[in-house]
């Protein structure tokens, strides 16, 4: 549905987006991750046709966004960053306006508005003016606007920004549910959202894609992926790390923390796929200790995120 | 209903209508609109009856009413139009509007027509002067109608200029000041003290050319009851040029 090829954008001398390519098909929810200023919003603004690209090509549903923007825009629902809306309008008035610009009239418009109101839990504020709403409601009003025409493509720029934990949860599950029938891109810097809602994630840093894969695949890039965490009580940390370090399948061991006579140690695997070999080895090594806890770690996205984006920055600095 | 259908079949006109309706609703949703209308009516009343010497003239005409319009609009029209694009950019709704399946031109025209309609409503509310002068004597109502049309055209020209300056910045005050300066220029190049100054240069051609740029020169015809196509074309071309430039400015901002 969405095809982005070699997309670039420069603001004066500054290259905000640098040769980004990816595709999103129907049924996919693509998470767009990256530190602040990475170029997420700029990329989304180009995909939605708000700003023209400096270079590259965008097609949405087969329509070129630059050459043929109107039919391409018809397919897209867009929630811009900070969820802007017309402060002087009521929620109902604002959604009717959006529906009308989407070409709906009469009954079709009324139905679309009430459907969006229901999906975004706005029933209690229908006739309230937007500037009297709390931030969460204002945000959901703009979100409702983006799904008013049940679009095939949804572009959501930080859809959970500024919401409370319950609202975040609602929005995530809404995205996941809609993702079955649509092509969705949403940006975030909250990593747990990737697990909660995405089928695939792209990490973007200083305008470039630095990682692209399913949340599983990304997690595997973590150093911690496949590591074994062991907690024993009544042993000095030195003895624990000494014995674990000598395991043939272990690369190295770190002591995570010591507390109330318990020691937590993390044993990093030498190879990625050990089929539980490391865990078995650790269990053998721990014979005679009183083991409190032992499990294999999946790897954590925030480690991947940090190691990728930080090491890139470090490289840049050393240049 | 049939009107509605015919309108939605022509997509462009439907979108313009939708945008204009929202914009006009936006004016009346805030007290600013009512304050503006009251100020406009008070000022026109003051200039007509006090400064304009309506009664002293003891003529059944609205000349004293219309002569002040060019100057009144100089401040009032930029005040109405300054928010047109500056506000959309500041709040971020511009991003929403321009990612809808509409063209930039439809958005520009829709918003312009809404504020023009608002000015037309304010102007229409001066009808008591027309009643008054008809009650006091028997004026030429054709001249009055023609002057009203000219006044509306002039307001439209100022408004289109303000639309352009409003697209330049996200700061309404800056937009207001630039449009006042531009409109003032369009007045002054036909203002008698300035034309007198220019005529000292002993080049009647130049004086004429400069005066031809002025709204005063072109409004004059309307005020005398003469609907000259050149005057109409003058105002329409200011509107067309300014709205076109508005589009260029908006596009250049997005290009970064
Ligand atoms: N209109 C603009 N003019 C100049 N620079 C811009 C503009 N928009 C974005 N940028 C720059 O482009 C970079 C990427 O910004 P953005 O896409 O908003 O990042 P993100 O959404 O990932 O936080 C930033 O360094 C930002 O300063
Ligand atoms: Mg952003």
Q: Are residues A176 and A279 in the same domain?
A: no
Helices within chain B (DSSP H only): 2-9, 11-29, 31-45, 54-57, 63-66, 69-81, 83-91, 93-98, 104-124, 127-136, 141-168, 172-188, 192-199, 204-211, 215-223, 229-255
Summarize the confidence of residues A191-209 as an average pLDDT: 88
pLDDT of residue B163 exceeding 60, the answer is: yes
User: Does A309 map to a domain?
Assistant: no
- A139-153, B55-69, B242-256: least confident range: B55-69
Q: Which atom of ligand 1 is nearest to the CA of A9?
A: 12
Of B151, B132, B125, whose CA–CA distance to B216 is shortest? B151
Number of neighbouring beta carbons within 10 Å of residue A123: 10
Give the pLDDT confidence score for residue A195 in this predicted structure. 81
Taking CA A271 as the corner, what is the angle to CA A265 and CA A277, rounded to the nearest 5 degrees? 65
Summarize the confidence of residues B88-104 as an average pLDDT: 94
For residue A120, give every residue at least 6 positions away whose Cβ sits within 8 Å of its Cβ, in sequence order, or none: A140, A141, A143, A144, A147, A174
Of B206 and B143, the structure prediction assigns the larger pLDDT to: B143
The finding on whether A16 has its CB within 6 A of some atom of ligand 1 is: yes
CA torsion sign for A146, A148, A153, A154 is positive
Taking CA B61 as the corner, what is the angle to CA B58 and CA B65, rounded to the nearest 5 degrees? 100
Give the pLDDT confidence score for residue B117 in this predicted structure. 96
Residue A292, domain extent? 228-297
DSSP string, B124-157: HTTHHHHHHHHHHS---HHHHHHHHHHHHHHHHH
Give the pLDDT confidence score for residue A314 in this predicted structure. 57
First to last CA, chain A: 39
Question: What is the residue whose two structure tokens read 């008054």?
Answer: B132
User: Does A130 map to a domain?
Assistant: yes
Nearest-by-CA chain A residue for B30: A88
Q: Are residues A162 and A252 in the same domain?
A: no
**Nearest-angstrom CA–CA distance, A79 and B231:** 46
Distance from CA of B254 to the nearest CA of A (A): 5
Q: Are residues A215 and A236 in the same domain?
A: no
Q: Which helix (H) or strand (E) holds B98?
A: helix B93-98
CA torsion sign for A7, A10, A11, A14 is positive
pLDDT of residue A282 exceeding 60, the answer is: yes
Mutate which of A16, A36, A50, A158 for ligand 1? The one with the most ligand atoms within 8 Å of its CB, which is A16
CB A305 within 8 A of CB A299: no
The three-class DSSP label of residue A267 is strand
Q: Are residues A93 and A25 in the same domain?
A: yes
Choose one of A198, A219, A240: the last residue of a domain: A219
Query: In Å, how far from its chain's centre is CA B178?
Result: 15
The finding on whether A11 has its CB within 6 A of some atom of ligand 1 is: yes
For residue A252, give every residue at least 6 positions away whose Cβ sits within 8 Å of its Cβ, in sequence order, or none: A245, A267, A268
DSSP A224: T
Question: What is the residue whose two structure tokens read 């983006």?
Answer: A146
Entry pTM: 0.87
**Average of per-residue pLDDT values in chain A:** 87
Summarize the confidence of residues B27-41 as an average pLDDT: 90
**Which ligand sits closest to the CA of B95?**
1
Q: Are residues A138 and A95 in the same domain?
A: yes
Distance from CA of A175 to the nearest CA of B (A): 20
Of B149, B128, B4, whose CA–CA distance to B54 is shortest? B128
Distance set, CA A154 to CA A45, A61, B100 (Å):
12, 12, 13
User: Does A318 map to a domain?
Assistant: no
| A136 CB-contact burial (10 Å; exposed 0-12 / middle 13-18 / buried 19+) | middle
Instruction: Identify any residues that bridge with A267 across adjacent strands, giving them in sequence order.
Output: A228, A253
Q: Tally DSSP H helices, then E strands, for chain B.
A: 16, 0
**Nearest-angstrom CA–CA distance, A186 and A220:** 22
Question: Strand pairing of A228-233 and A153-157?
Answer: unpaired
Nearest-by-CA chain A residue for B92: A84
User: Does A151 map to a domain?
Assistant: yes
CATH code assigned at A253: 3.30.70.3100
Give the pLDDT confidence score for residue B8 in this predicted structure. 43
Residues of A with CB under 8 A from a CB of B: 9-12, 45, 48-52, 54, 70-71, 73-74, 76, 78, 80-82, 84-89, 93, 97-98, 100-103, 105-106, 129, 142, 145
Per CB-CB distance under 8 Å, the chain A contacts of B19 are 101
User: Does A315 map to a domain?
Assistant: no
DSSP string, A88-102: TSBHHHHHHHHHHHT
Question: What is the residue whose two structure tokens read 């270079």?
Answer: A55
User: Does A287 map to a domain?
Assistant: yes
Q: Are residues A159 and A111 in the same domain?
A: yes
pLDDT of residue B206 exceeding 80, the answer is: no
Distance from CA of B106 to the nearest CA of A (A): 11
Q: Which atom of ligand 1 is nearest to the CA of A157?
A: 21
The finding on whether A37 has its CB within 6 A of some atom of ligand 1 is: yes
Per CB-CB distance under 8 Å, the chain B contacts of A48 are 99
For residue B162, give every residue at least 6 positions away whose Cβ sits within 8 Å of its Cβ, in sequence order, or none: B77, B78, B80, B81, B82, B84, B175, B176, B179, B183
User: Does A317 map to a domain?
Assistant: no
Encoded tokens for A255: 């002591």
Q: Are residues A62 and A192 in the same domain?
A: yes
Give the pLDDT confidence score for residue B4 in this predicted structure. 42
Provide the domain count of chain A.
2
First to last CA, chain B: 43
Q: Which helix (H) or strand (E) holds A204?
A: strand A200-205
* Band of residue A141 on the pLDDT scale cut at 50, 70, 90: very high
Per CB-CB distance under 8 Å, the chain B contacts of A10 are 256
User: Does A303 map to a domain?
Assistant: no
* Band of residue B5 on the pLDDT scale cut at 50, 70, 90: very low
Give the pLDDT confidence score for residue B7 in this predicted structure. 44
Q: Are residues A267 and A202 in the same domain?
A: no
Query: A261-274: per-residue pLDDT in tens?
Result: 888 888 887 776 66
Choose one of A194, A219, A244: the last residue of a domain: A219
Q: Are residues A188 and A252 in the same domain?
A: no
**Nearest-angstrom CA–CA distance, B123 and B196:** 32
Q: Which atom of ligand 1 is nearest to the CA of A45?
A: 17
Query: A165-187: per-residue pLDDT in tens?
Result: 888 888 888 999 999 999 999 99
* Band of residue B3 on the pLDDT scale cut at 50, 70, 90: very low
Choose one of A200, A219, A238: the last residue of a domain: A219
Q: Are residues A195 and A258 in the same domain?
A: no
Distance set, CA B217 to CA A130, B191, B210, B212, B234 (Å):
46, 8, 10, 6, 10
DSSP string, A280-309: HHHHHHTTTSEEEEEEE----HHHHHHHHH
Give the pLDDT confidence score for residue B31 in this predicted structure. 87
Q: Ligand 1 centroid vs A39 CA: distance in angstroms?
A: 6
Q: Which atom of ligand 1 is nearest to the CA of A158?
A: 21
Q: Radius of gyration (Cα) for chain A, nearest Å?
A: 24
Q: Are residues A99 and A118 in the same domain?
A: yes
Q: Are residues A97 and A168 in the same domain?
A: yes
pLDDT of residue B34 exceeding 80, the answer is: yes
Question: What is the residue whose two structure tokens read 């008809």?
Answer: B134
Query: A80-100: per-residue pLDDT in tens?
Result: 999 999 999 999 999 999 999
Q: Give nearest CA residue, ligand 1 atom 5.
A: A11
Per CB-CB distance under 8 Å, the chain B contacts of A74 are 101
Q: Which of B25, B101, B254 sits opposite A50 (nearest CB)?
A: B254
CATH code assigned at A198: 3.40.50.300
Question: What is the residue whose two structure tokens read 């025409």?
Answer: A149
CA torsion sign for A208, A210, A214, A218 is negative
**Which ligand sits closest to the CA of A81?**
2
Q: Please indicate if any CB of chain A lies within 8 Å of the CB of B92.
A: yes
Verify whether the Cβ–Cβ distance A52 to B255 is below 8 Å: yes
Verify whether the Cβ–Cβ distance A101 to B254 is below 8 Å: no
């Amino acid at each position: 549905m969405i095809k982005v090829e070699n997309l670039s954008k420069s603001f004066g001398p500054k290259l905000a987006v640098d040769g980004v390519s990816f595709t999103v098909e129907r049924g996919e929810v693509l998470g767009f991750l990256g530190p602040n200023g990475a170029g997420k919003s700029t990329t989304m603004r180009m995909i939605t046709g708000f700003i023209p690209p400096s270079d590259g090509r965008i097609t949405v549903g087969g329509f070129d966004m630059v050459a043929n923007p109107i039919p391409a825009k018809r397919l897209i629902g867009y929630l811009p960053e900070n969820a802007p809306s017309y402060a002087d309008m009521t929620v109902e008035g604002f959604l009717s306006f959006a529906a009308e610009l989407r070409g709906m009239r009469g009954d079709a418009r009324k139905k679309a508005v009430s459907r969006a109101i229901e999906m975004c839990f706005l029933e209690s504020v229908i006739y309230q003016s937007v500037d009297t709403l709390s931030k969460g409601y204002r945000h959901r009003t703009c979100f409702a606007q983006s799904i008013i025409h049940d679009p095939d493509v949804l572009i959501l720029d930080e859809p959970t920004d500024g919401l409370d934990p319950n609202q975040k949860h609602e929005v995530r599950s809404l995205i996941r549910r809609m993702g079955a029938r649509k092509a969705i891109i949403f940006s975030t810097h909250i990593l747990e959202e990737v697990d909660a809602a995405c089928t695939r994630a792209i990490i973007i840093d200083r305008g470039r894609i630095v990682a692209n894969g399913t949340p599983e695949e990304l997690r595997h890039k973590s150093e911690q992926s496949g590591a074994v965490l062991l907690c024993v009580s009544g042993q000095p940390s030195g003895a624990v790390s000494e014995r674990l370090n000598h395991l043939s399948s272990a690369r190295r061991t770190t002591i995570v923390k010591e507390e109330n006579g318990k020691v937590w140690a993390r044993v990093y695997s030498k190879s990625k796929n050990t089929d539980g070999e490391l865990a078995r080895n650790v269990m053998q090594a721990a014979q005679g200790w009183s083991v409190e806890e032992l499990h294999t770690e999946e790897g954590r996205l925030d480690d991947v995120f940090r190691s990728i984006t930080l090491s890139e920055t470090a490289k840049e600095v050393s240049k | 209903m049939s009107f509605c259908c015919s309108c939605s079949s022509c997509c462009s006109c439907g979108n313009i209508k939708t945008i204009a309706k929202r914009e006009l609703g936006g004016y009346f949703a805030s007290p600013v609109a009512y304050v503006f209308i009251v100020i406009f009516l008070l000022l026109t009343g003051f200039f007509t009856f006090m400064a304009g010497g309506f009664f002293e003239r003891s003529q059944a005409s609205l000349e004293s009413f219309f002569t002040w319009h060019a100057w009144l609009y100089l401040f009032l029209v930029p005040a109405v139009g300054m928010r047109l694009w500056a506000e959309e950019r500041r709040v971020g709704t511009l991003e929403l509007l321009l990612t809808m399946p509409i063209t930039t031109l439809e958005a520009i025209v829709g918003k312009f027509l809404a504020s023009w309609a608002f000015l037309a409503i304010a102007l229409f509310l001066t009808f008591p002067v027309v009643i008054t002068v008809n009650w006091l004597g028997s004026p030429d109502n054709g001249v009055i109608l023609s002057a009203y049309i000219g006044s509306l055209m002039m307001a439209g020209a100022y408004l289109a200029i303000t639309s352009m300056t409003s697209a330049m910045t996200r700061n309404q005050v800056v937009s207001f000041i630039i449009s006042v300066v531009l409109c003032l220029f369009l007045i002054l190049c036909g203002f008698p003290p300035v034309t007198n100054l220019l005529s000292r240069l002993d080049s009647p051609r130049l004086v004429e050319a400069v005066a031809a740029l002025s709204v005063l020169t072109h409004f004059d015809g309307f005020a005398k009851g003469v609907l000259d196509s050149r005057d109409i074309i003058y105002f329409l071309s200011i509107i067309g040029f300014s709205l076109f430039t508005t589009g260029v400015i908006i596009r250049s901002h997005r290009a970064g």
